[in-house]
């Protein structure tokens, strides 16, 4: 188990606002240092804090839990950036920045991002890494992917929260297994094979093209693949309420 080391911490007050007006306050470098040095004892509401973490090894997967918002960008330059204006207030009156309540570590090649203790807010997290083989998400946070190109990718999701998979270009298989009240947006994809399985009340939409597709769901919710051109074999199964709309060899079909 290897804990990712913090290599940079910065703090800035972005805005102080009333219901009628707002202003922007810029900290000097000295003020920023004073805030950084005193984070363990106090924090100003509305203050935006940021940490940059080094990702010192290649990873084969990402596992995310909690209510945080995650962006994953395929990049040869690896690293993690956490930022938040939220803080936790403890029973004894202490306040703890939410970015100090997120644990990032690599375990057996999997980057694990998870909350530590209770959090009253959320953290925006950006991960830059080489193409992973798998991504899993649990909880109510959101997930957004950018610029993924590669072979196979497996995505699993449980709980609520949205997923935006961006434009995927895969010469292999895209596998998505989702449960709960999610929404998955997968637009402008080009993959050799697509498999999507859903249970619960989640919804999903797809556009782009694939050589073959397997679409199945159990429970409520809809699958809209009317913008996805399935050029070859299509397997569709609907167990429960809701509809599956898809396009097979240029012809739109609906399974209720």
Q: Are 11 and 36 in contact (CB under 8 A)?
A: yes
Q: What is the pLDDT of residue 16?
A: 32
Could you identify the residue written with the tokens 């290897």? 2
Give the whole-angstrom CA distance, residue 92 versus residue 256.
55
What domain count does the chain have?
A: 1
Domain assignment present for 73: no
Domain assignment present for 87: no
Q: What is the pLDDT of residue 92?
A: 67
Domain assignment present for 63: no
pLDDT tens for residues 182-225? 999 999 999 999 999 999 999 999 999 999 999 999 989 999 99
Joined tokens for residue 174: 């895209």
DSSP designation for 46: T
Domain assignment present for 227: yes
How many other C-beta atoms can be found within 10 angstroms of the C-beta atom of residue 116? 11
Q: What is the pLDDT of residue 67?
A: 87
Q: What is the pLDDT of residue 35?
A: 42
Domain assignment present for 15: no
Domain assignment present for 165: yes
What b/e string do you get for 117-138 counting C-beta neighbours within 10 Å, with b at 16 or more? eebeebbbbbbbbebbebbbbb
The H or E element spanning position 30 is: helix 29-37
Q: What is the pLDDT of residue 25?
A: 43
Give the whole-angstrom CA distance, residue 22 versus residue 29.
23
**Domain residues for 207?**
149-256
Domain assignment present for 239: yes
Ranges of residues in the chain whose predicted pLDDT is under 50 = 1-27, 31-44
Beta strands at 203-218 and 183-200: parallel, antiparallel or unpaired: parallel
Q: What is the pLDDT of residue 146?
A: 94
Q: Are 96 and 107 in contact (CB under 8 A)?
A: no
Domain assignment present for 221: yes
The H or E element spanning position 8 is: strand 6-13
Give the whole-angstrom CA distance, residue 154 versus residue 133.
6
Give the whole-angstrom CA distance, residue 175 versus residue 214.
9
């Amino acid at each position: 188990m290897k804990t990712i080391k913090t290599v940079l911490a910065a703090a800035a007050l972005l805005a102080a606002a009333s219901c009628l007006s707002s202003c922007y306050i810029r900290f000097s470098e000295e003020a920023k240092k004073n805030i950084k040095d005193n984070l363990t004892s106090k924090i100003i509401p509305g203050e935006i804090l940021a940490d940059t973490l080094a990702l010192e090894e290649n990873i084969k997967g990402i596992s995310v839990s909690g209510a945080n918002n995650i962006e994953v960008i395929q990049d040869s330059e690896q690293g993690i950036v956490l930022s938040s204006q939220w803080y936790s207030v403890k029973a004894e009156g202490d306040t703890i920045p939410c970015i100090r309540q997120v644990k990032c570590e690599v375990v057996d090649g999997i980057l694990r991002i998870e909350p530590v203790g209770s959090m009253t807010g959320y953290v925006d997290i950006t991960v830059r890494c080489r193409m992973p083989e798998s991504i899993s998400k649990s909880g109510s946070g959101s997930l957004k992917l950018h610029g993924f190109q590669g072979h196979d990718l497996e995505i699993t999701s449980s709980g609520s929260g949205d997923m935006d998979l961006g434009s995927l270009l895969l010469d292999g298989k895209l596998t998505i297994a989702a449960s709960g009240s999610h929404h998955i947006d997968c637009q402008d994809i080009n993959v050799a094979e697509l498999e999507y399985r859903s249970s619960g009340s989640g919804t999903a939409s797809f556009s782009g093209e694939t050589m073959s597709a397997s679409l199945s769901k159990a429970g409520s919710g809809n699958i809209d693949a009317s913008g996805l051109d399935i050029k070859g074999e299509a397997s569709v199964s609907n167990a429960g309420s809701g509809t599956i709309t898809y396009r097979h060899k240029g012809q739109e079909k609906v399974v209720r």
